[in-house]
Amino acid sequence: MLDHFATLGYSATAVSLRGHGGSHGTDRLRWTSTKDYLDDIDGVVQSQPSEPVLIGHSMGGFLVQHYLEDHHLPGGALLASVPPSGVWPTSLRIARQYPKQFARSNATLSLYPLVETPELVRRHFFSDELSDVDVQRHHDRLGDESFRAFVDMLGLNLPKPSAVRTPMLVIGAERDAIISPAQVAKTAAAYGTTARMVPIAHDVMLDPNWRLVADVMHEWLLANER
């Protein structure tokens, strides 16, 4: 989506959180907190020539909610986001469906067992329309995630929607195996808006029909220009 929005005339910047991609902090990823990630986001926001609209997917949406508690920006967009109530329903659902992987994840303090095979990645993140070649390609690029941040999302450090004054767009994926449409609806209600649902799977940026989400975002951005 980054290149797509750049072609529409937006200055589009991606945040690389510590411990991800080529960023520093891989050796401490397990214990990286939500606050650490918010520091990363703030550094990028402060480097921009003007105040940005902040967009977050899944855990990124959880971070956007937290960031906007203390920072008023022109807009925030939550894509298939972790809800302000946290990930207990998601965790229980995964524990029932994949008990062995869930047990190993907790035993090793690592979330990677949940995505260790292309088959698991497809079930969690992607539509059936995505080719096996593309699923394998995305799986090859996957890494672990912070177990401390997972604990924050369970309940140790949840967002406070009442503290947010920024206009919010909430988009959900109808075929999402991670964040259910009911959870998305509750997130939207918490921010005084109505969820926009799109018929795709959890990883909305890489779904074959990602343009559906991009179009909703562009429409909202145009309507909220100031």
In a domain, 18, yes or no: no
Q: Which residues of the chain have pLDDT under 50?
A: none
- pTM of the entire predicted model: 0.96
Q: What is the DSSP string of 108-144?
A: HT-SGGGGSSHHHHHHHH--TTS-HHHHHHHHHH---
CATH code where residue 60 lies = 3.40.50.1820
Q: Which domain holds residue 96?
A: 2-6+25-223
In a domain, 179, yes or no: yes
178 in Cβ contact with 87 (< 8 Å): no
Buried b (16+ CB within 10 A) or exposed e, 7-32: eeeeeeeebebbbbeeeebeeebbeb
pLDDT of residue 226: 57
pLDDT of residue 133: 97
Judging by DSSP bridges, how do beta strands 196-198 and 168-173 pair with one another? parallel
Three-state DSSP at 75 gives strand
In a domain, 158, yes or no: yes
- Structure letter (DSSP) for residue 52: P
Q: Each residue of 60-117: pLDDT tens digit?
A: 999 999 999 999 999 999 999 999 999 999 999 999 999 999 999 999 999 999 999 9
In a domain, 19, yes or no: no
114: tokens are: 């949940």
Gap between the Cα atoms of 167 and 93, Å rounded: 31
Q: Mutual orientation of helices 34-47 and 59-70 as an angle, nearest 10°?
A: 70
In a domain, 11, yes or no: no
Considering its fold, how many domains does the chain have in total? 1
In a domain, 197, yes or no: yes
End-to-end CA distance of the chain: 22
In a domain, 177, yes or no: yes
Gap between the Cα atoms of 163 and 71, Å rounded: 10
In a domain, 17, yes or no: no
